[in-house]
Amino acid sequence: MAQYQLVEKHTIEHHNEYYEVRSTQNDSQPKSLFFTTNDENLEDVATAVVADHLPGVKHWTVIPHRKDN
């Protein structure tokens, strides 16, 4: 089971590394969720995030974000 924590967009600056899963099936209104995880298989975690929080979304991408100091 994938382990992740959703992160609100306004709190992402408090995380050194976080990920964004963005729907790509409807370019006019893409939806994004931000999350953190320690799991190594990012694809499995992203699949779990989409299944849990974006039902019906079939096409999506994962965007890693890293805070550079």
**Chain segment 10-68, per-residue pLDDT in tens:** 777 777 789 999 999 766 788 999 999 988 899 999 999 999 999 889 999 999 988 76
pLDDT of residue 66: 80
The H or E element that residue 5 is part of is strand 5-7
The per-residue pLDDT for 49 is 97
pTM: 0.83
What local confidence, expressed as pLDDT, does residue 17 receive?
Answer: 86
Rounded Cα distance between 12 and 61, Å, is 19
